Chains A and B, each alone.
Chain A
Amino acid sequence: MMKKLYLFMLTATLFVAGTRLTAQSEPDGGKYHSNAGIQEIMAKLQQKSGNAKLHTVATSPGGEPVTILEIGANQKNMPAIFVGANFEGNVPLSSEGALYLAKLLLDSAQYTKNLKWYILPNPNPDAAKGYTDKVKYGRTVNNFEINNDTDEALNEDGFDDLNGDGYITLMRVKDPEGRMIESKADARIMVPADASEGERGEYKILTEGIDNDNDGQYNEDGEGGINVGISFPHLFPRDKKEAGLWAGETPEVYNLMRFIYDRPEIVMVYTLGSSDFCVAPPKGGRKGEANLQNIKVPARYARMLETDPNQTFTMDELMELLKQRMPAGLEVTPAMVAGMLGLGAAVNPLDEDLKFYNKLSEDYKKFLESRKFNSERLDAPADKDGSFELWAYYHLGVPSFSMNLFTVPKVKEEKKTDSGTVSLNDVEKMSTEEFTALGDEKIAAFLKANNAPERFTASGVIEMMKSGRFDPKQMAGMIKGAQKKEKKGELGEKEKALLAYADKTLEGKGFVRWQKYNHPNLGEVEIGGYIPYMESTPKPELIDSLLGTQLPWLLQLTAKLPQIGIASEKITEMGGNVYKVEIYIENKGYLPYPIAMGQRNNQPAPVVVVLDGEMQILEGIKRTPLGAINGNSVKKLTWIVQTDKKSINAKIESAVFGPSEKQIKIGG
């Protein structure tokens, strides 16, 4: 299976890096904007274009407008892309990205001719205020009233900027129960003491602030609120107070869901923010999902389907069984089977969809290489439960691509003195044969150099690979995942990168050095740590080049959208004015419609092929739902009709693809 996937990927067509698109320079480039600034730019963009409309979808609990710019407002009957940014409110660069994208789209007609766009730059404006506030802490919540510690008072114990530097950092305080010590590699970094190494904890770490309500807890009930970025209904994190009580309790989320469901033409969703599905597909491996290759049919349905309740079936087998018992013409979908048997929600990306995610991620890497973009940077954070981008994939059933526009660059490791050792990156690109050919010794050295978990022995991994349990790329991934436990006395890759960035790029301003402070509750403490927003928010002068390099990928991706039309037809005369009509519907695009998840949830708007004209349909129905169609493929629909006319009409009806009509000559 994996091999097949590789072959598939090798056939990749490369993108030719197009002429570099840049948004025409505007006076408001190169800085981070407040919501007022964002609204001003949106209004300007709307006025400048004769084809844009501004929708106010919600007012945040803090009274801020949430607006969406519709580009292509005068156009009807065409697919649309939705772009949302900065749902958690703590990645201001992503809001700038959405505005930049809007400008790109309005500057050139290339991507708006047959495509509508909806652009939402700032869905969590209350939280986004946090970046321009005098005291910054990386706010993610809006002003919705939430009593986080459920005591007698609301929002009574937030952070306090004790040292007056404008940042909420950390406090370390000597405490007999403290479990943290200074790292031997860099005394600024606090690490847990390891008793087995004879170390004893010295410090407790708290966030900067005082115990305003004297309840023994620090900063446990600050302003707000609900985090818009984790309050969507897929894997809604019910146990988190800042998600709200249910998905969409806050109006930014509720109104946005309604806005999107009211527009079934949305065929793809982009999310600018933290996670990055352009680089790697949505995270898998969640437990608790029904295995669609191994489904048991409950007794009451087994009777209906005349099957053995002890037997297991694949989804395809069940669909076939059900088809035999359904009226002709009724499309049996995975959604129908899943709903009937109570298979529950999908929580991992479907295999079929991983194919396009992986292929496009390879293409994206090449795209970045071609633009000399340094991709040696820290990995983007994983997608979060309740996030917008997961909801778009799992509930809307459309391709959902998120993009992280900035993470801190990795520190270039000096080459290992042992030049014979292969690197993790090399191994990722190897085939199983190439890797096993390295032999025991080199593999053992590789495993050691990369701090692989002990269960990975040279002979063990060779065995696993030969039996097809994993391939070099998967193994490299597992080693990376397990690397968290750092080598003794050394900083982890992330910590090294952050410190280097704080010290060099930010000239020492990225890390507030620990300084003594006389704390009203705790006595002597030290205050210090990374400044908020450092990891996600580069200097303003870098905004334009970061956006200009990466965002055009999202424009190129639009070339992958499904394009559905009538390809050709075949008429066979059967005598007596009876004809067999075969119509080939094609998808000229790369992406299937719907994607596998869309087939599972049956949410995307249908494509219906309608036969029109004076005739009697002997077999088939006038309005035939096309069902799913793969990328770069055709699907044949067949009717038998009786008519004495010379032609009939075939047309495609769809909320997504717009009407396309064809006159079909019959007979003479």
Chain B
Amino acid sequence: MKQFIFVYSVLFFFTFSVQSATKAKIEVPLRFDRYYTYAEVNEALKALNSAYPALTKLDVVGKSEEGRDIYALTINNPKTGDELSKPGVYVDGNIHGNEIQAGEVCLYYANMLLTKYGDNDKITKQVDRNAHYIIPVVNVDGRCYFFEGAHTPSSSRSISIPRDDDKDGLFDEDAPDDLDSDGNITQMRIKDPNGEYKADPKDPRILVSIEPGEKGEYTLLGSEGIDNDADGRINEDAEGYLDPNRNFGNNWMPNYVQNGAGNFPFEGIGLKAVNEFIQKRPNIIVAFSFHNVGGMWLRAPSEKSIRIDPADIAAYDVIGKKAIKITPGYVYMPSYELYPTYGDTDAQFFFNFGIFAFVGELFMREQETFREKTDKPAQQTTEQSASLRRGSDPEQTREQLKFSDYLALGEMFIDWKPFNHPVYGEIEIGGWVKMSSRLPQPFMLPEMAHRNAAVVLLAAENTPEISMEVFEVKKAGNNLSQVRVRLKNKNGLSTMTTDAFSKKLYTPDMLKVSGAKVVAGGKIQDFRMNKVSYKEHKPEIQFLMVPSYGTVEYQFLVEGKGEITIDYQSVKASDVKTSVKL
């Protein structure tokens, strides 16, 4: 109980201080030189919505476990058509509560589309041609607590459903504690001549492992905290843990197979609501889910044993291979190469909704530099560059501290200070603050947001755009005409994933002829050689997809005279229609 009051009062203190310090009015265009709290994200969305009422719609998708609203901003120009008639671009972020810059990237994308609409041709075109769906904060409870509570850069990730991690019958009873009341969960260390660490001679704030035979100075005691439940362990049953990105439906596996899975798919009601929002918008063809950290573009599949069609990889590559140039330092790879996951958004969107789904892992710590410009960057091995991106190289730590000292105004690291611990006695507390490590410093935020939003724009530009050409109409005997139609996709994403087409996930694209009787119709294999494979039944409706930058051709033998109408209809691409006189 005492503990509870303690935590509560700390929470209250920070809620108050955060609000008073940053209560700047939110106006359009939005600013990106600081992080928005959960409440401010909503205010920003409302500001965009009221500044651009004709182009936007703001919906509450659903509520979280704790009753907070999850908002979706839809950007669509009704003058150019209903949203469901256009290829949909979906962007979300902050599904892990601590990954807050993901929300900023989503807001940036919305702000960019709206404020440049009418001024910039590329933007104007994509606002007119696509429907854009933006959910900046999926894990609203998590974001809220990340700002208001004391955290490490990696806590407050979970969906707000308590779980008995240590199986002692109590739920979430032993989380870390902000012992020094500074709003951060940092590290604890204790002076110990038998310890395995010593202070780094170059920067004593850093602990380095001792060499064999060398005398130690410190033992690391882990994250700040006490043994709240007196079970001889510290911080063993913290928040949740229900990982929102392991709780989606496709290929979901229970908790004993993969920690964080939850009890059943969509146990998180906010996640269920977000999933339903997407399911009700079958026009979505490409999706981005932003996370941190490491600088990666991940695509489906997320489990090695599952294969996807090479044609789908090719379509993915159109985006992925350019994306790594827009965001230098990022790698582009299938999600399972990072580690296998079950029940993640990538798999759900790709396999259950036929969406080209990407995960963007935002920010690389290697961008926290304190060094002169050199012409030739040192060649790194893959392993090195991975550890650099994740910020775990010792030389890099020294540089990061300098970066904190000279660029981040000393705000990223709290120097070790003595503390009298109820169990350990005299210890020291210090380390990286929550607003570090996985988050770029605010001054870096606009560039990060812009580059990543540019990748989403690239994807929007590559959503399928079909043109139809009737390239031959000729007499084919008595009262019979031969009509040849070509459908051409000028962009890099196919009109459906090949996976969805081959597994019959939903009704494929259709080419329909009406106005006269169709005697035969089918796909042209080779128009020069006059090779056609006719469909046996109902020749007037052909089922198809149009590949990435691809062309498909169909032939119909039509009886009678007059005018026929040819309709191309697609769930995801925009429909096209033409008519021909026989």
B249, A246: Cβ atoms closer than 8 Å: yes
Q: Is the interface of B mostly helix, strand, loop or mixed?
A: loop
A72 within 8 A of B: no
Chain A residue at minimum C-beta to C-beta distance from B257: A345
In the bound complex, do residue A215 and residue B538 qualify as a contact, i.e. CB atoms below 8 Å apart?
yes
The residues of B that contact A257 with a CB separation of less than 8 Å are 263-264
* Contact residues of A between 258 and 307, Cβ < 8 Å to B: 258, 261
- Contact of A245 with B by CB under 8 A: yes
In whole angstroms, what is the CA distance A603 to B167 when docked? 9
Interface residues as binary, B493-535 with A (CB distance below 8 Å gives 1, 0 otherwise): 0000000000011111010000000000000000000000000
Q: Are A233 and B543 in contact (CB under 8 A)?
A: no
Residues of A within 8 A of B505 (CB): 150
Q: Are B259 and A339 in contact (CB under 8 A)?
A: yes
Q: Which of A18-26, A329-337, A377-385 contacts B (4 or more CB under 8 A)?
A: A329-337
Most buried by A among B166, B248, B340, B536: B166
B264 & A258 in contact (Cβ 8 Å cutoff) = yes
CB-CB nearest in chain B for A597: B256
Query: Are A601 and B256 in contact, CB atoms less than 8 angstroms apart?
Result: yes
Interface residues of B in 220-274 (CB under 8 A from A): 229-233, 236, 248-259, 263-267
Q: Are B250 and A345 in contact (CB under 8 A)?
A: no
- Docked pose: A608 CA to B229 CA in angstroms: 13
Residue pair A345, B254 in contact (C-beta under 8 Å): yes
Q: Does A344 contact B (CB under 8 A)?
A: yes
Across the interface, do B250 and A246 meet the contact criterion of CB distance under 8 Å?
yes
Contact indicator B264/A248 (Cβ below 8 Å):
yes
Q: Does B537 contact A (CB under 8 A)?
A: yes
State whether the Cβ of B181 lies closer than 8 Å to any Cβ in chain A: no
Let me know if A71 is at the binding interface, CB within 8 A.
no
Q: A247 contacts B233, CB within 8 Å?
A: no
User: Which residues on the B side are within 8 Å of A14 (C-beta)?
Assistant: none
Given A150-B507, A655-B169; A246-B348 close (CB under 8 Å): yes
B264 touches A261 (CB 8 A): yes
Chain B residues near A623 (CB-CB < 8 A): 168-170, 229, 231
Interface assignment of B541: CB less than 8 Å from any CB of chain A: yes
CA distance A151 to B510 in the complex (A): 9
User: B87 CB to closest chain A CB, in angstroms?
Assistant: 20
A648 within 8 A of B: no
Mark contacts of B289-304 with chain A using CB atoms, 8 A cut-off: 1 yes-contact digit, 0 otherwise. 0000000000000000
Interface residues of A in 145-182 (CB under 8 A from B): 147, 149-152
Does residue A387 face the partner (Cβ distance < 8 Å to B)?
A: no
Set A152, A339, A345, A625: member contacting B167, Cβ < 8 A? A625
Interface residue A640 (Cβ < 8 Å from any Cβ of B): no
Is the CB of A654 closer than 8 A to any CB of chain B? yes
Q: Which residues of A contact B340 (CB under 8 A)?
A: 342
B399 lies within 8 A of chain A by Cβ: no
The verdict on A330 contacting B166 (CB below 8 Å), with A150-B504, A601-B255 known, is yes
Q: Does B164 contact A (CB under 8 A)?
A: yes
A233-B252, A257-B263 known; A216-B536 Cβ under 8 A: yes
Chain A residue numbers with a CB within 8 Å of B264 are 233, 247-248, 254, 257-258, 261, 395
Q: Does the CB pair A606–B164 fall under 8 Å?
A: yes
State A50–B257 Cα separation when bound (angstroms).
43
Q: Which of B231, B233, B537 is in CB contact (< 8 Å) with A215?
A: B537
Q: In the assembled complex, how far is the CB of residue A211 from the closest CB belonging to chain B, in whole angstroms?
A: 8
Q: Please, how many angstroms separate the alpha-carbon atoms of A155 and B476 in the complex?
A: 37
Q: Is the CB of B256 within 8 A of A339?
A: yes
- Other-chain residue from B231, B253, B352 in contact with A622 (beta carbon distance below 8 A): B231
Report yes or no: B169 in contact with A248, Cβ–Cβ below 8 A: no
| Also in contact, A254 and B233, with CB within 8 A (given A247-B252, A338-B256) | no
Q: B233 contacts which chain A residues (CB < 8 A)?
A: 327, 329-330
Closest to B541 in A: A152
Decide if A254 touches B167 in the complex (CB within 8 Å). no
> How far does the Cβ of A263 sit from chain B's closest Cβ, in whole Å?
12
Q: What string of 1s and 0s marks CB contacts (under 8 Å) between A530-549 and chain B? A: 00000000000000000000
Per-residue CB contact flags for chain A residues 629-668 toward chain B (1 = under 8 Å, else 0) read: 0000000000000000000000001110000000000000
Closest B residue to A604 by beta carbon equals: B167
Shortest Cβ distance from B505 into A: residue:
A150
**Chain B residues positioned under 8 Å from A238 (CB to CB):** 250-251
Interface residue tally for chain B (C-beta within 8 Å): 43
Q: Is the CB–CB distance between A608 and B232 below 8 Å?
A: no
Closest-CB distance, B271 to chain A (whole angstroms): 12
Contact B249 A602 (CB under 8 A): no
Which residues on B sit within 8 Å (CB–CB) of A342? 257-258, 340
Q: Is the CB of B257 within 8 A of A329?
A: no
Question: With A245-B249, A249-B249, A342-B340 given, is the CB distance from A608 to B506 under 8 Å?
Answer: no
- Tell whether, in the assembled complex, residue A246 and residue B254 are in contact, meaning their CB atoms are under 8 Å apart: no
Determine whether the beta carbon of B169 is less than 8 Å from that of A605. Answer: yes
Residues in B whose Cβ lies below 8 Å from that of A213: 538
> B539: shortest Cβ distance to chain A, in Å?
11
The interface residues of chain A lying within 8 Å CB-to-CB of B506 are 147, 150
**Pick the contact of B256 from A261, A330, A600 — CB < 8 Å?**
A600
* A625 CB contacts on chain B under 8 angstroms: 166-169
| B 148-191 to A, binary, CB cutoff 8 A, 1 in contact else 0 | 00000000000000001011111000000000000000000000
**Cβ-defined contact, A254 with B266, below 8 A:** yes
- Alpha-carbon distance between A329 and B236 when the two chains are bound, in angstroms: 12
With beta carbons under 8 angstroms apart, the residue of B232, B236, B508 that contacts A150 is B508
In Å, the complex CA distance between A189 and B500 comes to 39
For A214, what are the chain B residues with a Cβ–Cβ distance below 8 Å? 537-538
A518 CA / B266 CA spacing, docked (Å): 51
A621 at the interface (CB under 8 A from B): yes
Contacts of B255 in A (CB 8 A): 335, 339, 601-603
Smallest CB–CB gap between A657 and chain B, Å?
Answer: 11
Q: Which residues of B contact A654 (CB under 8 A)?
A: 169
Residues of chain B contacted by A338 (CB below 8 angstroms): 256-257
Q: How far is the CA of A606 from the CA of B231 in the complex (A)?
A: 15
Q: Which residues of A contact B253 (CB under 8 A)?
A: 344-345
Indicate whether A1 reaches chain B with its CB closer than 8 angstroms: no
Chain A residues with Cβ below 8 Å from B504 are 149-150
User: Once the chains are docked, how many angstroms separate the CA of A449 from the CA of B443?
Assistant: 86
* A16 within 8 A of partner (CB): no
- Say how far B293's CB is from chain A's closest CB, in angstroms: 20
Known A-B contacts A147-B506, A249-B249; A233 and B168 likewise in contact (beta carbons under 8 Å): no
Find out whether the CB atom of A329 lies under 8 angstroms from the CB atom of B538: no
Residue in A249, A254, A328, A339 whose CB lies within 8 Å of B258:
A339
| Contact of A621 (CB < 8 Å), options: B232, B256, B259 | B232
CB-nearest residue of chain B to A655? B169
> Across the two chains, which residue of chain A brings its CB closest to B230?
A622
A 333-357 to B, binary, CB cutoff 8 A, 1 in contact else 0:
1010011001111000000000000
Residues of B within 8 A of A233 (CB): 252, 254, 264-265
Find chain B residues with CB under 8 A from A345 CB: 253-254, 256-257
Least CB separation from A217: chain B residue? B537
Q: Once bound together, how far apart are the Cα atoms of A214 and B164, in whole Å?
A: 57
Contacts of A339 in B (CB 8 A): 255-259
Q: Hey, which chain B residues are within 8 Å of A150, CB to CB? A: 504-508
**Whole-angstrom distance between the alpha carbons of A150 and B505 in the complex?**
7
Closest to B536 in A: A216
Residues in B with CB closer than 8 Å to A622 are 230-231
B231-A621 in contact (CB<8A)? yes
Residues of A within 8 A of B256 (CB): 335, 338-339, 345, 600-603
Return 9 A-B CB contacts under 8 Å, by A number: A147-B506, A150-B504, A238-B251, A248-B264, A248-B266, A345-B254, A601-B254, A601-B256, A653-B169
| Nearest 7 A/B pairs, CB to CB | A246-B249, A601-B256, A216-B537, A335-B256, A608-B169, A257-B264, A150-B504
Residues of B participating in the A interface, judged by any CB pair closer than 8 Å: 164, 166-170, 229-233, 236, 248-259, 263-267, 340, 348, 352, 504-508, 510, 536-538, 541, 543
Given contact pairs A150-B508, A601-B254, A601-B255, a sample of 14 additional A-B residue pairs in the complex whose CB atoms are under 8 Å apart: A152-B507, A246-B248, A246-B249, A246-B250, A258-B267, A338-B256, A339-B255, A339-B259, A342-B257, A395-B264, A603-B254, A605-B169, A606-B169, A621-B232
